[in-house]
Amino acid sequence: MAGKNKSIGNRERFLRRYKEQVRDAVRRAIDGRSIRDIERAEDIAIPRKDITEPQFQHGPGGARDTVHPGNTEYLQGDRIPRPQGGVGSGGSKASNSGSGDDDFLFTLSKEEFLQLFFEDLALPHLLRTQIGGNPQWRSHRAGLTQLGPLNNLSVIRSMRGALGRRIAVGRVARLALDEARAQLRALEQPDVVGQQDPGRVLVLQEEIRLQEQRLRRIPYLDPIDMRFRNRVRVPVPCSKAVMFCLMDVSGSMDLQRKNLAKRFFILLYLFLTRQYNEIDMVFIHHHTQAQEVDEEAFFHSTETGGTVVSSALVLMRQIILARYPSDDWNIYGAQASDGDNFSDDSSRCRDLLADGILPLVRYFAYVQVVEDEQKLWTEYQRLAAEHANFALGKTTAVDQIYPVFRNLFRKEEASTWD
Amino acid sequence: MGLNAPLPVLARAPTPLPATSDWTFELIDRYHEVIRLAAERHGLDTYPNQLEIISSEQMMDAYASLGMPVNYRHWSYGKEFIATEKRYRRGYMGLAYELVINANPCTTYLMEENTTVMQALVIAHAAYGHNSFFKGNYLFRMWTDASSIIDYLVYARNYVAECEERHGLGAVETLLDSCHALANFGVDRYRRPSRRTLAQEIAQRQAREAHAQQQVNELWRTLPVGEERAKSSPAAWHFPSEPQENILYFFEKSAPLLEPWQREVIRIVRKVAQYFYPQRQTQVMNEGWATFWHHRLLNSLYDEGHLGDGAMLEWMTSHTNVIYQPPTGHPAYAGINPYALGFAMYTDLRRICEQPSEEDRAWFPDIASSPWLPTLDYAMRNYKDESFIGQFLSPRLMREMRLFAIRDDELQSKLEVTAIHDTAGYQQLRQCLSQQYDLGTREPNIQIWRVNLRGDRALTLRHTQHRNRPLSDSSIEVLRHASRLWGFSVTLESVDDAGTVTRTWTVDAPI
């Protein structure tokens, strides 16, 4: 019975079967939950009657005899009042999933909760970033090769190879040399000096010279000895993302509108945490001027004044260029506003986005927290028609955020950007 | 078995085995060894044993999949797992200490949370008690093939997974739902299946699939039947010619619209249900036997000096909890505890053999004063719950348990006590309790009755009421499952004792 989590397959099937109920429960949970702890397990209740497995069984009624233990008072022929659903039930098989009509409660793990939450959403271009035109490469060692640039030469491995080759190739010559030297030494023994055959000595000396020459001719280092450290380049999926949150904090953005924007940002943030290991967040708020702030100030500071949206876009571009080269970072932008803008500024925003920002970012989403369409909206609509990585949506109540979010980040193949 | 009495112990152990709360594999081995020797001295005949340690999660896992270590995937097992896990985590229920698989070799799963002494208890209970029961009892010998069940389940899981891949999760799931609804009616109650190995199973499946669809049977004949023949035998139009009790088998063989793989899945569910059929009929006997033997074996270990007093007290506490029988009216009362009844009956049987009273001699002339080992062995091998109680429940035990029988008749305003533990009531009490364990009366009797061959191919099922007991309201749901398998409309008739149809349910053909 090896392995943990063996019934995970069964659990998945269970969740799949009751997906509708579970999904409803998840939706209710998101509505009721404060955003900060959205990433939490969730208790799900399913009406028990929905999940019972029917069987042919005896129902109540008819006649049945049952035997019970522990008689203390009855005699044969006694008549006793019928208890409510009690004693008489010994004959029928009790359901093992408990009794009563109470709900079947179980806990959805954090992962399952988010899985449902983000169901069939995927960030556009994500696949392309990870598999296709990969901007990042990492090289790592992959053994040795016989060809390569000299600066990769592995001296030790090359010399070891050369030594082996020299020993192997010179074996015949060395044996002959040793043989000749031994013979010569025998001839030069004092007791045989004088009886030696001078011709024979000369022959041996010649032989020795020849073999030494042969040995010298073996190259010390041959091209076939060369070994080079091999390095291969492997694509690294870029796992870093930066998310820009742009929000209007001018006087017209009241707390409720900010809250809507905040929920949208948090959804995006949660979604990104599922895709990337490392996420930077940059908060830019603006009225007539844009400013980079921390999260606390972003959501809670109150500023007043007019609205110049382009100031935030300018600042975003500056920050991207300064800190987040788009080769290394997957850049996402999310902008929330009530649509108010200084009259001439909207077309400038469009130009800024089209030329300065959209080429750098993977995705830019604009969400408007009021219904009426002003200049900014119409300009952005034109932009959305031209750029696939730009999307916009409108939301005026908390419960509309999710659909808008879904629409914005709908799976790419199924999408038509509006 | 062949032993008339336990063999004597050769030498008394000088010191008891350590009874630390944390077990080690080495310690379990030592306990297992002395338990094995004790079991041998008592002549217990078992399959080879295989002990495995599992975690609580794995235990719950096995709970959820019908107590088997491997099974095909289905959402209901997931539901069961979730429910079990929740009850366990909240402390509403403890898990069984052990799980034992009727297989050869017999696999016993020990929970890692158990203490050393508990592991010893579990080994004696499962690896020797249940194991010898699986090997000896006639129902298990006849119906289940211990050597191939794990292989078969592996095959089943792979086959179902393959079907899921090929036909989609949804299609397989609805099919399994329908099969599960009828699983209890997918067993052969009387006919004995032939034994097959995995290889044969696969080869035969392929052969079946190839031919099943080509088969033309009487039902779906498209060629016109000769006029004379049709006239001459109107009975031939009654299909099936006899009522069929194995509903799933009938669907597997005769449902016209099923694909070959669907027939195979039905077959798998049927086989698994069949495998568990003996277990459902021998609950009291099986648990009683295992409890009796852990009690006997551990006591004999104590006598031989292997167990100390502390260890004895520890397992005895657990043993007493297991065989506790709350009396009627007690908040914890939930029917008769099979452990309690079974243990009491085997113990009583031994007493009848060893120290029979006059009453016992009158009731059990053939076993009073006989050697107890062969008598118990005989009882274990040749009975099921129903007949075991009918044969061996003694008046003395009825008195000890203070049994009484109640008749619940809806025509009467009050319940009637029909028998108590006195001379007038013994026979009736025993018969009544014996029937209570008869699957035939516990489950409604529903059979395939006929198929409308000339019209819409509607199927009629017939429920024969047992003492006018009606079917529960969930029947209509089950009927929907039946019509999904059959492919056409299905009607269920409920027939009372007098043979008149009192109620019918009809489900239209699935779209």
The residues, ordered by sequence, that sit 6+ positions from B107 with a Cβ below 8 Å of its Cβ are B50, B52, B69, B100, B101
Q: Pick the residue with more confidence: B485 or B210?
A: B485
Distance CA B153, CA A40 (A): 37
* Cβ-nearest to A62 among B69, B418, B468: B468
B-interface mutation test, from A4, A5, A10, A102, most B Cβ less than 10 A away: A10
Distance in angstroms (rounded) separating the CA atoms of residues A290 and B384: 85
Under 8 Å CB-to-CB from A108, ≥6 apart: which residues? A15, A22, A25, A26, A41, A42, A43, A44, A116
Q: Is it the case that residue A83 has pLDDT exceeding 80?
A: no
Going from the C-alpha of B293 to that of each of B38, B44, B346, B377, B386, the distances in angstroms are 10, 9, 10, 12, 21
**Separation between Cα atoms, residue B10 and residue B238, nearest integer Å:** 70
Q: Are B291 and B323 in contact, with CB atoms under 8 Å apart? A: yes
C-beta of residue A187 within 8 angstroms of C-beta of residue A204? yes
Please state which of the ranges A119-133, A201-215, A394-408, B42-56 shows the lowest mean pLDDT: A119-133
Backbone angles phi, psi at A331, to 5 degrees: -105, 130
Which amino acid makes up residue A123?
A: L
pLDDT above 50 for B232 = no
Question: How far apart are the CA of A8 and the nearest CA of chain B, in angstroms?
Answer: 8
* pLDDT, tens digit, 9 for 90 and up, residues B161-186: 999 999 998 899 989 999 999 998 98
Residue A1 and residue B441: Cβ atoms within 8 Å?
Answer: no
N-term to C-term CA, chain B: 59
Closest CA to A109 of A19, A41, A39: A41
What are B347-358's pLDDT values in tens digits? 999 999 999 999
B-chain residue closest to A7, CA distance: B61
Q: Which of B 426-455 lie inside 8 A of A, CB atoms?
A: 429, 432-433, 435-436, 441-444, 446
Domain locations along chain B: 25-137+282-320, 149-216+245-280, 328-440, 444-507
Has residue A131 got a pLDDT over 70?
no
Q: How many CB atoms lie within 10 A of CB B357?
A: 14
Pairing of strands B98-101, A330-337: unpaired
DSSP string, B277-340: HHHHH-HHHHHHHHHHHHHHHHHHHHHTTSS-HHHHHHHHHHHHHHT--PPTTSTT--S--HHH
Q: Do residues A74 and B405 touch, judged by C-beta distance below 8 A?
A: no
Chain A interface, best mutation among B415, B423, B461, by max A CB count within 10 A: B415
pLDDT for A133 beyond 50: no
Residue pair B462/B495 in contact by the 8 Å Cβ criterion: yes
Whether B469 has its CB under 8 Å from any CB of chain A: the answer is yes
Whether A303 shows a pLDDT value over 80: the answer reads: no
**B39 vs B33, B45, B289, B335, CA distance in Å?**
10, 8, 13, 32
**Would you say the C-alpha torsion A176, A180, A182, A183 has a positive or negative sign?**
positive
The predicted pLDDT at position B38 comes to 93
Q: What percent of chain B has a predicted confidence (pLDDT) above 70?
A: 91
Average pLDDT, chain A: 76
Average pLDDT over residues B482-494: 91
Chain A interface includes B405 (CB < 8 A): yes
Query: Which residues of chain B are within 8 Å of residue A72 when distances are taken between CB atoms?
Result: 327, 402
Confidence of residue A409 (pLDDT cuts 50, 70, 90): low
Chain A, window 90-109: residues with a beta carbon less than 8 angstroms from a chain B beta carbon: 90-94, 97-98, 104-107
Residue B207 has pLDDT above 60, yes or no: yes
Q: Dump pLDDT digits (tens) for B236-278.
A: 567 788 888 899 999 998 888 889 999 999 999 998 898 888 8
Over 50: is that where the pLDDT of A98 sits?
no
Q: Is A85 on the interface with B (CB under 8 A)?
A: no
- 3-state SS class at A77: coil
- pLDDT value of position A416: 36
For the stretch A181-240, pLDDT in tens is 898 888 877 776 666 677 888 888 898 999 898 888 888 888 888 888 888 877 666 667
The domain B444-507: what is its CATH number? Answer: 3.40.1350.10
CB spacing of B407 vs A64 below 8 angstroms:
yes
Interchain contact A16–B (C-beta under 8 A):
yes
- Local structure of A381: helix, strand or coil: helix
Distance from CA of B474 to the nearest CA of A (A): 6
The number of helices, as runs of H, and strands, as runs of E, in chain B is: 22, 9
Cα-to-chain-centroid distance, residue B197: 22
Is there a contact between B408 and A63 (Cβ–Cβ < 8 Å)?
Answer: yes
More confident residue, B422 or A195: B422
Residues of A in contact with B78 (CB under 8 A): 7, 9-15
What is the end-to-end Cα distance of chain A in Å, rounded? 53
Checking DSSP bridges between strand A390-394 and strand A363-368, what pairing results, if any? parallel
> Residue A67 and residue B433: Cβ atoms within 8 Å?
yes
**In the predicted model, what is the mean pLDDT of residues B381-395?**
93
The runs of H, that is alpha helices, within B323-416 are 338-354, 358-363, 372-382, 385-392, 395-401
Total beta-carbon pairs less than 8 A apart between chain A and chain B: 239
What pLDDT digit, counting tens, does each position of B73-101 carry?
888 888 888 877 777 776 555 556 677 88
Q: What is the pLDDT of residues B116-125, one digit of tens each?
A: 998 999 899 9
Give per-residue pLDDT as tens, A340-376.
787 778 888 888 888 888 888 888 888 888 887 788 8
Q: Tell me the backbone φ, ψ of residue A333, rounded to 5 degrees.
A: -120, 140
**Model confidence, pTM:** 0.67
User: How many residues would you count in chain B?
Assistant: 511
Q: In this predicted structure, what is the pLDDT of residue B163?
A: 93
Q: Which of A60-64, A94-98, B282-286 has the lowest mean pLDDT?
A: A94-98
Res A411 pLDDT > 60:
no
Measured CA to CA, the distance from residue B511 to residue A106 in angstroms comes to 34
Is pLDDT above 60 for B221? no
Per residue in A114-129, pLDDT (tens digit) is 666 655 444 344 433 4
Lowest mean pLDDT among A133-142, B8-17, B305-314, B333-342: A133-142
Reading the block at residue B119, the tokens are: 């592991």
The pLDDT value recorded for residue A347 is 84
Tell me the pairing of strands A330-337 and A240-248: parallel
Least confident of A186-195, A219-228, A316-325, A390-399: A186-195
Report how far residue A361's alpha carbon sits from residue B381's, in angstroms, rounded to the nearest whole number. Answer: 78
Residue from the list A55, A62, A71 with its beta carbon closest to the beta carbon of B410:
A62
Residue B406 near chain A (CB below 8 Å)? yes
The interface residues of chain B toward chain A in range 116-175, judged by CB-CB distance below 8 A, are 169, 173
Instruction: Give percent of chain B with pLDDT exceeding 90.
Output: 41
Q: What's the pLDDT score for residue B87?
A: 73
